[in-house]
Amino acid sequence: MLVVVWVFLLSVLCLSPSTCDRQCPCESQELCQPIAGEKDFEVFVFDVGKKAWKSYDWTQVTTVAAFGKYDAELMCYAHSKGARLVLKGDVPLSDIVDPANRTVWIAEKVDLAKKQFMDGINIDIEQAVAEASPEYYALTALVKESTETFHREIPGSQVSFDVAWSPKCIDKRCYNYAAIAEACDLLFVMSYDEQSQIWGDCIAMANAPTNQTFIAYDDYITMKINPRKLVMGVPWYGYDYPCLNFSQEGVCTMTKVPFRGAPCSDAAGRQIPYSIMMKQVNNSMSGRLWDAVQQAPYYSYKDKDGMVHQVWYDDPQSISYKASFVSTRGLRGIGMWNGNLLDYSDDPVARQQTEDMWNALKPNQEKEL
Ligand SMILES: *[C@@H]1O[C@H](CO)[C@@H](O)[C@H](O)[C@H]1NC(C)=O
Ligand SMILES: *[C@@H]1O[C@H](CO)[C@@H](O)[C@H](O)[C@H]1NC(C)=O
Ligand SMILES: *[C@@H]1O[C@H](CO)[C@@H](O)[C@H](O)[C@H]1NC(C)=O
Ligand SMILES: *[C@@H]1O[C@H](CO)[C@@H](O)[C@H](O)[C@H]1NC(C)=O
């Protein structure tokens, strides 16, 4: 009897097939509408799951890339703030060299986005690709076809693509950057992990040295990529390097861990969240220091075995410089990997630090620090 009633109810609710397989989970039906229209300034947030998003600064957020489990509550909330929620897209490039397989992959993603009332896709393919290889052409075609399909199937949707901090075949990612930029709505430039290939002295250095970061944007722009297509990604994490040798001057020599052809890399270190570093820095050997050349903060500490570690990171000071560059260079916006890495607890010191990190994203806010 119960079953019969249930089936009856379902059939009443599902008068049209489109509402049947797409039940809007939000309190109001409008919140399931895709977000359309372009924001003047993008604040692009990667979210890796759980509920930290509830504490984000939604006065700023324009796009959230859902890299964690799908959360319908986040979708409804983002839409209530006029922000997009986009899928993550990743696929082994060898699987999509065949155009038919490519089309199938894209169709699956569009279906998933529709079913989840999402507003596009962030394509995060960080694979090594040789110039003029079949994968090189397939990747550009994938981005182009994804953009066309998403725009057609979900009007107003956004297709973005993640690129390395520099277009110069970083980590052997020799992509057709100009064509990819042309083919999608925006490039998220991952201006971090800039020590993934160290060719000189194998010493600990900044995750995203300011100068090197800026020069790389000019490299993208010189390739005739419109600055309005570039969103600057900043790290909300740092690297902790154990020092094989720690010199009088505070230079930390690290273990040589090769990466994609380079003899030394940041793989010798460990990525750590801003929230953890903020609990460590005041009690460290050095306290917070500032490297004037790389324009980045760092500190050194001794672990329980007496080994010295050096930690390089970004904080409101270094991020403010980057946000100013975004503004003066006329880039599309700013974003971070990732939104979850701050301390969203009620502790008053943590609250202030977290607020300062969000505020540092605002352009033209070069603060006295
Ligand atoms: C491409 O699609 C064909 C036909 O569906 C399938 O048999 C094949 O396994 C796919 N290739 C890859 C690499 O996914
Ligand atoms: C450590 O650095 C000092 C100079 O700062 C050097 O004399 C010494 O050989 C280094 N030790 C190792 C193990 O590299
Ligand atoms: C660390 O020191 C700074 C600067 O003196 C201070 O503002 C901050 O509250 C301290 N952090 C913690 C966790 O005590
Ligand atoms: C930044 O790079 C430019 C060009 O390589 C150089 O002239 C300048 O001195 C650098 N600035 C800093 C602070 O290192």
CB atoms closer than 10 angstroms to residue 287: 11
Amino acid (1-letter code) at residue 235: P
Residues with CB under 6 A from ligand 2: 245, 247
- If you measure from the C-alpha of residue 254 to the centroid of ligand 1, how many angstroms do you get, rounded to a whole number? 44
- Test site for ligand 1: of 101, 103, 108, most ligand atoms within 8 A of the Cβ: 101
At 360, the pLDDT band (50, 70, 90 cuts) reads: very high
Look at residue 22 in the predicted model and tell me its pLDDT.
73
Alpha carbon dihedral 143, 144, 146, 147, in 10-degree steps, equals 110
pLDDT at 21: 54
List, for residues 136-148, the tens digit of each pLDDT value: 999 999 999 999 9
Q: What is the per-residue pLDDT for 231?
A: 98
**Res 89 pLDDT > 80:** yes
Ligand 4, atom 14: nearest CA belongs to which residue?
Answer: 293
* Cα dist from 292 to 206, 208, 282, 296, 312, whole Å: 11, 13, 20, 7, 13
- Put residue 257 in one of left, alpha, beta given phi > 0 → left and psi -120 to 50 → alpha: beta
The yes-or-no verdict on residue 177 having pLDDT over 90 is yes
Which residue of the set 27, 73, 126, 131 is catalytic? 126
Residue with tokens 């297509």: 229
Q: Which atom of ligand 4 is nearest to the CA of 294?
A: 14
CA of 166 to the centre of ligand 2 (A): 33
pLDDT for residue 15 is more than 90: no
Query: What's the pLDDT band for 260 if we cut at 50, 70, 90?
Result: confident
Query: In this structure, which residue's CA is closest to atom 8 in ligand 1?
Result: 101
Residue type, 126: E
Q: Measured in angstroms, how far is the CA atom of residue 255 from the centroid of ligand 2?
A: 13
Q: Is 126 a catalytic residue?
A: yes
Tell me how far the alpha carbon of residue 335 lies from the centroid of ligand 3, in angstroms.
25
Average pLDDT value over all residues in the chain: 93
Ligand 3: atom nearest CA of 282 is 1
Query: What spacing in Å lies between the alpha carbon of 101 and ligand 1's midpoint?
Result: 6
| CB distance 336 to 235 below 8 Å | yes
pTM: 0.91
Give the pLDDT of residue 3: 46
281, 349, 357, best to mutate for ligand 3 pocket (most atoms within 8 Å of CB): 349
Given a cut of 90, whether residue 296 has pLDDT beyond it is yes
* Closest CA to ligand 2's atom 8: 245
* CA dihedral for 216, 148, 153, 139, sign (positive or negative): negative
Distance, in Å, from the CA atom of 247 to the CA atom of 269, rounded to the nearest integer, reads 18
Go through 296-321 and write b for each residue having 16 or more CB atoms within 10 A of its CB, e for each that does not: bbbbbbeeeeeebbbbbbbbbbbbbb
Ligand nearest to the CA of 287: 3
Q: Cβ < 6 Å from ligand 1: which residues?
A: 95, 98, 101
